[in-house]
Structure 1
């Protein structure tokens, strides 16, 4: 609106300036023409008076010229300032110069005086001048004009005749026109501004209503609608928004119904499969007990059957766990536990597959208890799933497991130095049924649910799992768990260890591993407080730890 007002005012000002220039030129031409016409009439009247005169003496001639100047002044135009006459030649019969307004006699410049004095053809000379207004200093100067010619008076010789005209009225008219144009410009700009404000407001307000409704809809209120009160394009927008909201509601209902059906299907199938899988497990165990009595081909078949049934049971257990999460039935069985116990249990569970792939799991844990209130079964499953994933991609390189703790939180680190992942893979690593490299051989027989279940278990503890990975540098998981999940979540600044930067391939961390303050200090005075060897704000750069660091961690 401001831009429109400024443009309108600019256009109006330009138009006014052009108009003023045109009006001024036209008014000047008209005034000049009138002055010249009036002066010509005066010249004719004066010449007729001189021609008709029978004055012979100097006194009579002087009197005649005086009377003639007075008559011309009184009969002249309203803007005539003064009439001036004097002899062209200095003779004995020269008249005394006549001036009806001596104040402005100095306005007659020497240029026009010389031009009239040297003229022999009776031409009329015109010169624009400025008339000072001595009576009103604030009024400034007034434009005017001087016209001059020669009158033929044989008795006294030729007379130089001048007349001064004032353009004060025309100047006042121009000033009034300027003021009026200025007022028109301002009023026009205000009117345009008001009209634009009304028009824009009429457009913006319905759009604001639609925008507010869109924000409300995005916040989760799916019943939000806008009032359709227009028939123009904005009305089309209002109707389109309401139609979009209805369609969105319908799609969400359909997706919710499909999701519920899918969840019920997974849950029902998982539960229904438990009985036949249990029967198959029993039959497989029976065959496993007697496999040594079979021929080598049958024995191998029994071993394969047992392995696949184990994998089927793991998949079934994961599906049942997922169905519990989706149904909202998952709950924590919190107990005060030493965090080293579930970590060691998870390491023991994956030790066999790690040995099969020649992967060394290095547990560098504190030598004091690290007590926290957790669901040990779920924490063990978190670490087991992370270790199983690390074993699959370790590429015969070691896996490091560490613990960091302070008064508020416990952080469990699982790091491998294998193939690593790119940024796109890291973004999907916790998605269900998603595998970073399906073509790779996996001893663990992953289902694509392990990391998703691990993240859900961590979230149930009001914690989280963060990951850093880079191609050729391995993958690093940090499991953040509060010491007491029944309290409020732990802020990032209160974590004993965290990644220093948000980049998905930056392995720098803040803090250090070990026990900053014994988690059991509040429960038992028998335990010593073990200080950490690194401060909370220390940044540990990317790279493998040396054997000296490993020994220090073992001592902690």
Structure 2
């Protein structure tokens, strides 16, 4: 029974990392996120400034209202005291109690307590302190009491306070804001009275919090709304650009008929029309280049054919001079030798150009015959042996001791190996050149390796280009035309095979010619080769597989040889 994977836990860090990657990757996401952040920041700053202003205004208003309400209570209380007709202490105490209750009842809604006590507690007629909310009496500070007690001008004193928390609304986490107001009342019978009132600003604080939350919510909603509007707006810009980018990738992939729909008249429409115009111009230029290439190939083919007759005539004349050169003086003999050599080189060049032109024209064809591949390799080595001996380059040919039959065009295979050997001899720098053969049931791989000058990673991809040479300044005894490796690749492709190369500067170059044993069965897969290069990099020369005749189990052969052959020069 398969175990059920637990759901992935939410990770804020993973979400933040994904968001940052999306912002880096997408211009649309980056623009929208920046717009939302800026809008939210502006909304927060605006809310804070508004709250400071509103708070100041509300505080001024509620303070003014508290002072006004307190002044009315003072006037009412003083009138009641002046009109009272009391004589005994009990009557005085009852009057004060009633007065406190009346002021508490008639006061504003944010009045939480009224406090009355005699200024002179040592008087015979001093009253018992009266408070309508005893729990708040400690909020009247000693400084406030001292200020009221020492006042002789009937001034009204005001002091902000914080009341204990009555609800979830609090200021700075300590309590709700309020104020204490105090003054002196004249009461001739019992002496002056100290009158305090405590006001709570809870309702105003709740209103301020509600306003603040409303402003914050409006800011967030405004940011989200602007973000959605920006997303839709930029989406309308980015989507057409993405369509053009996709069309450009398709065009770059070789589909020259790709066009985009022109459905706008703004700058995006200009981009769409420009892309279509560019595609049309590119298509036209490619057609012109193809026509020019065809004309050039036809010209090369025609010139090559036309030059064969005069070159043949020159060859006959040169041979005649060669036969009689012993009758000439030494200078004339040297001239005849140079003439013969250059005519031979000219003939080779014409032969290569004719071969290339036949391939370009699609006239090249294979003459497949079941042949021992070893014979073709030996023949090619013998044809290059003279040049190799002149350059002091030994050619080591190591082939299986059994027949390796394959359906090949032996003339072309000989030319492949000969051209690779000639190239190896040119750059071997007097070091040996090795020729080996790997075989299995489906393919043969011919290895040609030298340990000479080698090439760097920038040169290696161009070795099969026509008329390209790795070092044009080198002295070349073989008189190469620059077409040998290109023709070798062409012959390999005709066999449904290929040639792969690896090279390291100063360590030599290694070619692997990969041919199917029966070209009529089509191309061979890399997994079906008896050996191959171990790395895709052009400067890594390790191989997978081995030389000789592989066993029938090709996969096992490759796996077994991988550990022993990887990176080892053979």
Q: Does 1:450 align with 2:498?
A: no
Q: Does 1:492 align with 2:526?
A: yes
Name which of structure 1's ranges 333-342 and 489-498 shifts more when overlaid on structure 2: 489-498
1:43 paired residue among 68, 74, 89: 74
In the alignment, is the contact (CA less than 8 A) between 1:112 and 1:125 conserved in 2? no
In the alignment, is the contact (CA less than 8 A) between 2:114 and 2:196 conserved in 1? yes
2:47 corresponding residue in structure 1 = 16
2:545 corresponding residue in structure 1 = 511
Structure 1: distance between partners of 2:459 and 2:141 = 99
1:65 paired residue among 86, 96, 101: 96
In the alignment, is the contact (CA less than 8 A) between 2:432 and 2:451 conserved in 1? yes
1:191 corresponding residue in structure 2 = 225
Post-superposition shift, 1:395?
2.9
Secondary structure of the structure 1 residue equivalent to 2:532: strand
| CA displacement, residues 261-315 of structure 1 (integer Å, 9 cap, x when unaligned) | 1011011112222333334444545555565666666655554444333322211
2:196 corresponding residue in structure 1 = 162
Segments of structure 1 that go 5 or more residues without pairing to the other structure are: 522-530, 546-556
Post-superposition shift, 1:443?
2.3
Post-superposition shift, 1:207?
0.7
Structure 1: distance between partners of 2:143 and 2:105 = 24
| CA displacement, residues 474-513 of structure 1 (integer Å, 9 cap, x when unaligned) | 3222222233333353343443333334444444333332
Secondary structure of the structure 1 residue equivalent to 2:520: coil
Post-superposition shift, 1:426?
2.5
Post-superposition shift, 1:193?
1.1
2:564 paired residue among 516, 538, 541: 538
Post-superposition shift, 1:452?
0.9
2:62 corresponding residue in structure 1 = 31
Alignment of 1:282-293 (within 5 A): 282-285=316-319, 288=322
Alignment of 1:107-506 (within 5 A): 108-111=139-142, 114-115=145-146, 118-121=149-152, 122-131=154-163, 142-285=176-319, 288=322, 301-506=335-540
In the alignment, is the contact (CA less than 8 A) between 1:107 and 1:129 conserved in 2? no
2:8 corresponding residue in structure 1 = none
Post-superposition shift, 1:159?
1.0
Structure 1: distance between partners of 2:282 and 2:462 = 26
| CA displacement, residues 218-239 of structure 1 (integer Å, 9 cap, x when unaligned) | 1222232333444443333223
| CA displacement, residues 411-453 of structure 1 (integer Å, 9 cap, x when unaligned) | 2111223333333333322211112233333222111000111
Structure 2: distance between partners of 1:360 and 1:292 = 33
Give the TM-score normalised by structure 2: 0.83
- CA RMSD for the aligned pairs? 3.1
Structure 2: distance between partners of 1:488 and 1:7 = 64
Q: Does 1:83 align with 2:114?
A: yes
Post-superposition shift, 1:456?
1.7
Secondary structure of the structure 2 residue equivalent to 1:423: coil
Structure 2: distance between partners of 1:518 and 1:45 = 120
Post-superposition shift, 1:380?
0.7
1:93 corresponding residue in structure 2 = 125
1:554 corresponding residue in structure 2 = none
| CA displacement, residues 356-383 of structure 1 (integer Å, 9 cap, x when unaligned) | 3333222111111122232221111110
| CA displacement, residues 110-163 of structure 1 (integer Å, 9 cap, x when unaligned) | 5366435642334433333444587xx667864332222222212101212111
Structure 2: distance between partners of 1:394 and 1:474 = 7
Structure 2: distance between partners of 1:388 and 1:473 = 18
Q: How many residues align?
A: 531
In the alignment, is the contact (CA less than 8 A) between 1:88 and 1:117 conserved in 2? no
1:528 corresponding residue in structure 2 = none
Structure 1: distance between partners of 2:311 and 2:210 = 105
Q: Does 1:5 align with 2:31?
A: no
In the alignment, is the contact (CA less than 8 A) between 1:370 and 1:518 conserved in 2? no
1:524 corresponding residue in structure 2 = none
Structure 1: distance between partners of 2:329 and 2:124 = 168
Segments of structure 2 that go 5 or more residues without pairing to the other structure are: 1-31
Question: CA 1:102–1:425 in 2, change beyond 3 Å: closer, same or farther?
Answer: closer
Question: CA 1:536–1:493 in 2, change beyond 3 Å: closer, same or farther?
Answer: farther
Secondary structure of the structure 1 residue equivalent to 2:561: coil
| CA displacement, residues 12-62 of structure 1 (integer Å, 9 cap, x when unaligned) | 223323322332233123212321232133223323432344433334433
Structure 2: distance between partners of 1:186 and 1:358 = 85
Structure 2: distance between partners of 1:139 and 1:344 = 101
Post-superposition shift, 1:515?
1.8
Structure 1: distance between partners of 2:145 and 2:216 = 44
Post-superposition shift, 1:469?
3.0
Secondary structure of the structure 2 residue equivalent to 1:212: helix
